[in-house]
Each structure stands twice: as C-alpha cells, then as structure tokens.
Structure 1
Amino acid sequence: MVADKSDSLLNVFNRTQTDTVKANLLIELFKENIYSNPDKALRFAEQGLKISEEADFKKGVAKFLRYHNIYYQSKGDYQKCLDYSKRAKEIYESINDKNGIADSWIDLGLLYWYQSDYTNSTECMQKALKIKEGISDKNGVSICLNNLGNIYGDQKNYLEALKYYKKSLKLFEDLGDEKGISDCLNNISVQFMDMKKNDSALVYATQALTIREKNEDQAGIAESIMSLGILYYKNNQYTKALEYYSKSLSLFEEMGDKNRLAVLYSNIGDLYYKTGHTQEAISALHKGLELAKELGSLYSMEKIYKGISSAYAKAGNFDRFSFYDSLYMKMQDSIFNYENRKKADEISAKYETEKKELQISMQGLELNKQKTVRNYLYGVVALVLLVVIAMIAAFRTKQKANRQLQILNAEIIGQKMEIEFKNDELNKHNEEICTQRDEIEQQKSIIEEKNREVMDSIHYAKRIQQAVLPTRDVIESSVAEFFIFFRPKDIVSGDFYWAARRKNHLLIAAADCTGHGVPGAFMSMLGMSFLNEIVPREDITTSSQVLDELRKLVIESLQQKGVLGEQKDGMDMAFCALDVDTLKLQYAGANNPLMVASPHGMASAPHGAMIPLREIKADKQPIAIFEKMTPFTNHVIQLQKGDSFYIFSDGYADQFGGSCGKKMLKKRFHDYLIQIKDLPMEQQQKLVEEYFDNWRGAHSQIDDVLVIGVRV
C-alpha cells in the first residue's frame, strides 16, 4: 500500500516543473517511507532540501532540516539531530513563522529528553507550549502537554505526569485525533505501571493498541506491544512477556529505532535473568549495552551495567562480575558529575547575565555622579579651607597630648616585653602539644583508612553473597505459598538458604554455618557451591544422600583429620525434597529439625495421637568432622494439600530478650508457630518478624536468623 502511494507521488513529481510543488511532493514521499524504508526517506529529504535551497523556499528548507532530524533520531546520532533542529529554528525565526519556531522547540525538547537532560527538555517544551497557546494551535498544545507528561514521568513525578497526560487526552478527544489519543493512552498506561497499578495499566494499554491497529500505526503498534510485554513481566507471566517482547523487537528492528531496541534488549535480559536463563540474559544485555553506548544514554548504560554484573555473579563468573560492577559504580559517578556540571553551567550563565546588568547600571550611576561632583565642587573647596584653619589650632593641642602619650608608651613597652617572654614559654608548650596531636591524628587516619578498606571489602562480599542466593521464582513456581525471614547479624551472614528444581522435585535447604559475619559467609559460599555440585548427580536420590555427600566434600575441602585441637568448622542444615505431584516430602537434618503442620492436625508418629504441630528431629551430628559419624537419616512424610512445613536455623530461638532477658528457646518458638500456622504465609512472615523484634526489645541480635515456611 505504501509502495503504491509512493509510486503515484513519484509520477506526479516527475511531471511537475514548479519547485515548491516538487518540495511539497517530497515532503509527502518522506512521510510515506520514514518507517518502512528510512534510508529511502532520507534521500527524499536530501533532494527536497537541495530544491528548497535553490528556490530560496525557506519554509521548505526548515521542513526538510526537521526531517533530517527525524531520520537521525532513529539512528541515535543526537549531535546531528541537534544541529539540524537548531538550523531549522533559526530559519523559522528569520521568517517569523511562529508555528515552525514552536515545532523546533518541540524537536529540541525531545532530543534533550532522549538524552535524559530533563532541565533543558522541560525548558524547550514550555517555550513551545507558550507559543502554541498564543496562536491557538490546540493540536500543538496537546502534543506539548503529552511530552511534558513524558518528561515528568521519567523523573518519577507520576502525579504531575498524569495531570499533563489527562489535559492532553482531553484536547486530542476534542479534536478527534486518534493517533494523539492512542499516544496519551499508552503513556498513561506506562505511568500506572511505574506506580505498580498493573490492572489500570493493562486497560489503557489495550485501548491504545486497539486504536493503533485500526489506524495501521506501525510505530504505535510496536510501542503498545512492548508496553504489554512489560505488564506481563510485572505480573510474572514470563512466557507471554517474552512473546510480546519478541514481536515488538521485530517491528523496531524493521524501523531501525535504536532507542527502543536498547530498552527492549535490557528488558529481555532482565526477564532471562529472572527466569534463570543466565547466559541468554548476558547475551541480550550486551546487545542492549552496545546500543546504549552508541546512543550515549548514560541512564540506560547504568541500568544495563547493573544487570550484567548481577548475571555474571549468578553464573559464578566473579571476575566479570567485578569488572561490570566497577563500571556500574563509575557510571553512577559520571551521571552525578554530569548533573553537577550542568548545574554549574546554569549558575555561571546566570552570573554572567547579572554581571552585565550590573555594569549597565553602574554606567548610569557614573554619569549621575559626575553631575553631582560638579555641582558641589565649589562648596567642598570652601569647606576645605575651614578645615585647614581648624587643623592648625588642633595641632598645637595635639603636641601637648603627645608628650603625655610618650610617658605612657614607655610603661606599656615594658609590660609588653614581659608578656612576650611568657608567650614564648607558652608557645613552646603549645608546639609540643601540637606535635603529639599530629601524631595521634596521623594514627587515627591510618586506622580509619584500614577500617574503610575492610568495610568496603565486606560490603563487596555482601553483594556477591546476595547475588548467589536463589531467586523467589524457583519456589513460587512449585508451591502455593511460602515465606523466608532472613536477617543477618552482621553485613554478611553465616546462615543461608538454598533452593532448586530437579525434575518434579522442589529442593530447599536452611543452613547455619560455623560463626557469623565474614567467617560464616565464607562457609556459606562453600555450602551453596557444593549443593549446586551435588544435586544434579543422577546417583543422588534422597535428602540423606545429599547431606552425606555434602559432609564428605566439606571434610575434604577443609582438610579435617579429627585430631585433638583441630578447628571444628562446618554447618548445621535441614534439607527437604518435595515431590510437587504426589506431595511426598523427604527430609534429612544435621542438628536442624523439621516442623510439619496441618489444618486438621498431624499424627505425632505413624498411627500416633493427633497434634497441631509435629517435629521431626534431626540427627545429632553436624556437616563436618565428628567423633561418631553415621549416615544421615532419610525421613519421608506424606503431606496433604494445605499442609505446611518449617525449617530454620537456631538464631531465632537462641535470641535473648523478654522481660527477664533470657533466651527464647525452641519451645516458645514452637508454641508461637502453633498459634499462627493456619494464617496466610505472607501474614505469618510479618508476625514471625514482629514476635522476634518484640522479644529482642533493646537487646542486641546475637546470631544470624533464618526461618522458612512453605505451604503445599
């Protein structure tokens, strides 16, 4: 259809002899081809610019300069875009074309917006809005309002953004402009997404897509499909989100829109990371990074660097994690410096303006001053003569007073010499004190620097530890409800949780390593690494075998021999394997027990009395070298739908607090679980945290705390 219309326009173009008619035909040819064949559209714009310049058709020249801007926007060459837009604005100003001037301000505002320069973007758009209102251009006013909504939305000022969008939507509806209406609806959808109101966002996004499909607006359709992909992602519908991302990716690739492609690759990378496809995430994020670099978009680069570093950490490639994490930190600094530089330039410009105004003001004051001096000159001369006479009389009086002052000065000099002698002694003492103070300050600086280096290393370790902990998605896809209450005592933790999916089994563990803080964190990294190594093995079929193999690897890696005085490093653990089809639960424990609850009560043992919460005891041995090591016991419990189980470390029950400052102990924790076991898991987590904090009161936390609850 586009080809047919282009052919018709070209036939008319080849027959006409009038330059202005040719220029107008080239404008229509550009519009027909800019999205379907951008390079062909550029050739029409270049030809139109040449014809307009030769015919001195200034309005045409400005129009084709703006079309060059549109083409280079899709290529991400913002410097060329700025040059063309500024040249177009100068031509419009020379012919006093107010509408053209306003359109050029809009073009500049959009270019600054694409580069996250919100100050200049807002200023340009406000200038355009003022002109459009002055010439009663309702369509132009609504475009400006819509663009201002975009700018405020990017700065997370959602209420201000929605205010502008609704004003713009009302004007577009009055005008019957369906493209403008669909743009506004899509933008409102994006704001509701950012405000986490996904239901409202879906309604507006669907309305926008319907209008755009009706009008065959290819760019708008691609935009709406991408928005729906983001919505499905936020609703955890990852398969559908990837489907919509892929559709919009194809459309934007056809159009050559690098801005949207950079955003899409970043979104696809986040989706793959979230769903555990780490290598695919890294590949997509690198594609997005190349485009963001080409576009010079600092904020996109910052977001992608963070995503890549997290993906490499999850993949266990800590060298690449460190490299991209440092780039992420540097990019944050670059954005901070860029914004400060921009503020400094604004202050400098304001200073220069005020300086010039002051100079003009001073010149006027200087002229007035000359008149005043001439008028009062003679009076001043007369006054001087009177003063000279008075001074002669005063001189004689002063000579007498000076003789008296000389006597007083001699006494003062004597007192001064005595004071100076005492000051010299005080200065010597002061120098000794300053020397000692400088030494103390130097030692303090050395200690502070060492402490800062240590804390930086610990915070870096925290980022690594958090990156390798499992995501919630693994558990969410397998069970009805769950919660994880995880509170390290220090920056890094000796407790850790681990989860994985193996065929139809959900595997989940709660572990407590020897010590807490940095030593415990090292052991936790070792434990997670070994679990990732053991679980995929085909010869491992029970929970107890996992703990047996884990103990063997810990002993080997720490070179434990069982000799007297040897450090007893290791870990306690509760390990569960849930068959999600049959709800059969396998459990093995190293000092950490399992609690099982049912809405209808649990048998205390096979064929035993019914109790509200059943404890399956762990083997009294750690995952480490031990005096008497036996194979771990594999317990099998048949759960019913709605049953819950709990695994935890000893940090919760060992906490000191209460009115007497004593330990909580396992029984009190056990009784509290009985009270809350039938509540929704989300509410249980909140209550478990509150109960712990209320018990602890003003006491310090003594250990890492980990509690996991799962409802099948």
Structure 2
Amino acid sequence: MNKYLIILFIAFSTLTNLNAQFADKKIYLVDSLNLKLLYKEDKALIDSVVNQYKKAKHDTVRLSLISTLVEGISDNRVWPKYNEFMFELCNTGLSKIPASQTVVRLFYLDYKNRALNNFGYYNLMQGNIDLALEYYAKSKAILEEINDKAGLAAYYNSVGYIYTNQGSIKKGLDFMHKSLKLKEELGDLPSLATTLTNLGFVYKSQNEHDKALEYFQKSLKIREDLNDKSGIAMCLGHLGSLYFAKNELEKALENYSKAYRISKETSDEFGTAHHLQNLGVFFQRKKNYSQALKYFANCLELRRKINDSEGIAGILFRIGEIQLEMGNISEALTSANESMKMAKKLKYPLEISNTALLLQKIYKKQNKWQEALEMYELHVEMQDSIMNEETQKIVIKQQMQYTYEKEKLADSLEFANKEAIKDLEIKENQAKIQKQKAELEREAIQKKALYGGIILLALLVSAILIAFRNKKRDNEIISKQKDEVEAKKKLLEEKNKEVFDSINYAKRIQQALLQAEEHVSSKFPPHFILFKPKDIVSGDFYWSAEKNNHLFIAVVDCTGHGVPGAFMSMLGISFLNDIVSTNILLHPSEILDKLRDRVIKELNQTGKGGDSKDGMDISLLRFDTLTKKIEWAGANNPLYIVKGEKLKVKSEKLKVNSEELKVKSLSSYKVDVILDSPSVIPNECEESNIQLYELKGDKMPIGFHENIVPFTNHSIEVNDSDKLYIFSDGFADQFGGEHGKKYKYKALKELLLQNYQIPMQEQKEIFLQAFENWKGSLEQVDDVCLIGLSIE
C-alpha cells in the first residue's frame, strides 16, 4: 500500500514541477530543453553561443555559431535539437537569397549539407538505418548541386559501409570503389586511407585474405606517412584480425598489442574498445578464459559509455561464447539474447547469423530442440543473405534437420526417463500451489481489514513523505549530475578538440589560398612579410599577383577576426584573383573600385538598416618590373615610404558632381636618430635628409559607404634604396608597455626609421620582437600584417 501512495505522490509532485524544468524557447532558441538534465559544460557552451547569436548582425555569422553549438554539445539528447534549428535557418536563408548571389548561396547549402549529415549520423547511431540512408541521400543531392567531390567521396564511403554491414556486399563494394576513385582524383590521402581500410575489411569478411592484406597494407603506409596515430592503430587492428583468421597467432598478438597501446595513448575510446575486444578473442582462442573475460568486460564498459550499439552487440556475443564454453549456460543465454536484440535492431545479418548459431548451441545444451532448430534456421537465412547462395541454404537446412533427428533418437531413452521424473515433480508442485493459494486468500482478508487504518495513517504522514521524496530526489539528481559530469568530461574535451581541429582545417584552407612567402620572394624585390593572426584563422591577409611584367601586392584588413574575418578574407582573395585575371591591366584604383562593387553585390549591401556592415580596408601596390615605377591606391590604409630625396607623387583628383575634392593625402615625418640602438649603424645614421612619407588612403572602405566615389590612383617615383611599407592597423593598435596603452603609428614610424637600412629579413625579426616586447603578457587584440619592400 505504501508503494502505491508513494507513486501517487511522485506523480503529483512531477506534474506541479514540470513547467519549471524546460527552458524558454525565446531565450534558448529550441523547444523542450530540460535545464535540470543539462551537463554543466553543455549549459555553459549554450549560454555563451546563444548570447553571441543574439548579438550577431549577419545571418551567416549566426549560422556559423549554431553549427559550433551542434559540434560542441556532447549530450545526444540536446545537440539534435540545435541541429534541427540549424536546418531551419538554412532553409529560411536559402529562400531569401537570390540565385545571383552564388557565394552566399553556396555557404547556406554547405551548412544544410552538414545538418543532413548530422541527422544521418544520429539515426545511424540509434540503429535507424533506413532513416539514416534517407538523410544521406538528401545530402548527396546537395553535394552534386554544388559539385563537392570531396563530400561525395565521403558519402559513397559511409553508405558503402552501411550496405556491407547489412549484407549487400556487392552494392557496398560498388559505393566504396566510387569513393576510392574520387579520392584518388582529389589526392585526399587521409580519406583515401579510410576507404582502403573499409575495402580491406569487406574482403576479409568474404575470406579473400590476400586482397584484404593488400588494402590494409596500402592504408597503413598512407597512415604512417601522415603520422595519423589513430589510423595506424585501426590498420594494425585489422591486420591482427587478418593474421588471426589465417591462424598466424604470434603476428596477430603483436599487431593487436601495438594497436591497443596507440589507441590508449591518443585517448581514442572507440579504438581502445575495439582492440580490447580483439585481445579478448585472442585469449579466448588460447583457452585463457579468465584473461579473455577481463578484456571483454573492459571493452563492454567502454562500448556502453560511447553508446556504440554495434560494438555492444558484438562484445555480448563474445561473452556469451565464453560463458557457454565454461559451462555457465544461464549467463551465456542472457548475454546472447541481449546481443540478438541489438543485432536485429541494427538489421546486421552477420551479427544476427553469428548470434543465432550461438543461441542454437545454448538451447541444444538445455535440450530445447525446437528453439535450437529455429535459431539454426535463422542462422542459415542470414548466411544466405550475405553469400546469396540459395541452393547452399537448402542443403545446409536439410543436413541440419537430419542431424537433429539423429540426436533426438539417440537421446530418446534418457529423455523419456527425465519426462517421468518431471511428471512427479509437477504433481508435487501442484499440491504446493494449492496450499499457497489458501494461505494467500487468508492474508487477503486480513489485509482488507487493515486498509482503513493504513489509509488514515498514510494521510497523516503524506506531508513527511513528500518532503522526504523531494529531498531524496534532489540528492539523487545532484549525485547523478556529478557522476555524469565526471563521465562526460573527457567526451567534452574530445568534442572541443574536434571543433579546434575543424578551425585548424579552415586555417589550412586559408593558408592554401595565401601565396607562400617563398613564392612571393621569387617575383618581388627584396622584402619581408610579417603575418601574425590573433586567432587560429585570420581576418587580415596579404595577396600578390603577376600580369604583363607588372607585380601586384596588397595588405587587406577584413571586418572582424577569427572565423568571421577568415570567411571575408577568402572572399577577398577570390575576388582579387578574379578581377586581375579577367580584366586587362588595371590601375590599383580601378581594382579597388571593382572589388568594392563585388563585395556590395555578393553581401547584398543597400545601406538600409539591418544590412551587413562587413567590408575591407586595403593598401595595394602595382610595381612595373621594367621601369620600376610604382602605382598605389588605398582604402583607409596608408603607404609609408622611407627615402633620402623629396618624394614625387602624381595623384588623380577625386571628383564629385564635376567638382574636385581637395584631399591632403601626403605628409612626411622625421625622427632624431638614436645612435645607441643596436639595430642601426651609427655612421649611416648621420644622414639628416632621410624622411618617412605617408601617403594616405581614401577615407572609405571596400564595402557600402554613404558617399561612394572612385578611389584615387597615385603614381610614385622611387629610386634605388627606397623602402616601402604597407600594413593593417593591428600593429599600431596593440595594447602593451608599462601602462597598457596602444603602440600607435608615431612609434611605428620611429621603429621603421630606426631600422630601414638593414636587410629586409632582419627588419622582420626586429619588428616582430618589438611587437612581442610591447605586448608582453597581454592578449593580442587584432590580426597583424606588415609588408616591407626595398627598391634595388
């Protein structure tokens, strides 16, 4: 009775507190977010990203933030909600973007593809294979639309793996070979190694050991060249399994042990679990059952921790096998039944077949001939699904039926004796049941008489029970949350590592777009490039190009830094390359005019409220390699020239409504030489005619501006030994020094004048050291890019 009252109180208390558990969608963006069940780290990440999301002014930035949230949340109950929200944002954005804005449209399609892949991955992990394949098919349609060959290669590999696990071997191999062909075309070595491994695994499952060995060894060679420790461990594990199948046990143990050590060192829980299972199977073959069960128990714990349904099914099967071999029939049946349940949910015929054969052996030990026969038939059916040999299936079933009939006849006498004993036991049990039934009826009458008193007593203590229940529930929640925080801490660290790995991959893409300094060095006069991003990726970038004996070089400062700035920088590099390659030889001012037009068009800037304010500041030089003449134009950013003669500059006049604008664009600066500076040669410092000239850029950005006019082009006469410097504002804006103030442009000019005479690469080291000394222990506030050129 007390049990029923407690259940009633729990239900009542749950109803009264239900509304307080779920977060407000207006704040957290998604429905049914249970704050009480959130992991501490997940809630901190959600609060931070949602706050940034509400401050963001551009839809593309908001979408990137939600994607970061999806990748960073560890709780499988929470991140799918934000993935659904990301998918809706993509659809809404695509419905608003005109077809002409191809760059922004590709951005939304890329994130929609990520959302679909996430849906597919989630359903695959939950065992919803058909639904996962539907999402992957929708993802494929987008990849074909945007001609993303790398994405298509990944799609074919993933779906091929699913089909082979479902028993569609030919279909799975076709998909994997399509993936292999695309990856070879792209030169994508990490992905190529993954597909080679998958192909080796499939051929191994079909007992084509020579082909499997060939693919595993090719994959291992690539992994070793890339120093991919996780991939090396995986390949070693597969090689160990292959040698195990060939009964080369010493080689198998050597590869298994190496694979386990590497996975353990790299904190790869999935790989560690896999290699623990392999070691357990090895000791099972050696009949060392205690050692095998030890490895299997550790493996099962890891499999459950990472929610690996397929792995859990496999390890339960192995534990059932050992329990059967040890004669622990009841324990073997429990493990095998749980393994079969998961294998059927996954729809994996190989696992179903193996587990059915194990259950057949268990039922045979229990003399349950009908159940054993059913399991053997299921085993044959699944084998047929894999091997597709209908006639072989019929023969095996006939042989199996004949074998069972012989065994039943051989044991018939013993069976009859057992049945006679069972009849006596049944009669004794029936008598006991009748006696127990009478006792239960008497107890029921006594209980009815006590119900009234119990109900009154329950009403008196109900308040105490409710308070006790609430306190106990709170303590359990706190204890559970503490355990979950500890258990999930490592998973969160891995998720964070994946996010940073993604940003590092974006860095490699940005670095691929930036020309290496060595490449620039082969074309330009002596120079240096000081490039120091604030974050992993940069909003500043440098750019160079060559056309018709003319060299172009620029320093560009995009709005923001980090990921948003990097996105703008990649657009800028693409636009500049396109403008120079598709037009006749342009003056720097003409290039800036065209670049501004492209940015306004692609970012849909109209000057209305709510529009993107993204843009760029730039300083752009054009150098004639034959005449050594310089042309320059700038948007907000200047050009510094250090020389000993008066600077001669011819500047086009800006005109608005046929009236010339008077713009002071040239100023000079001179500093007393510091003779005790270690970076200056005293005898050369006595020249008092050396000056730094500042040619100022037009006061408008590359982007929408209230007064859009053509940029000014400047023709500059330079001589040998003149020094030119272009840069972003990151150096001068850095806080530091004794009082934590900005470095400022005056100090930068003094630094340039003090060191202009020394070789360019030595200048770079001095300027970098000066920046680091000024910054000290303070955080870098912005990206830094500074380029110096020496005319010779």
TM-score (norm 2): 0.42
Q: Which has the higher contact order (CA 8 A, sep 6+)?
A: 2
TM-score (norm 1): 0.47
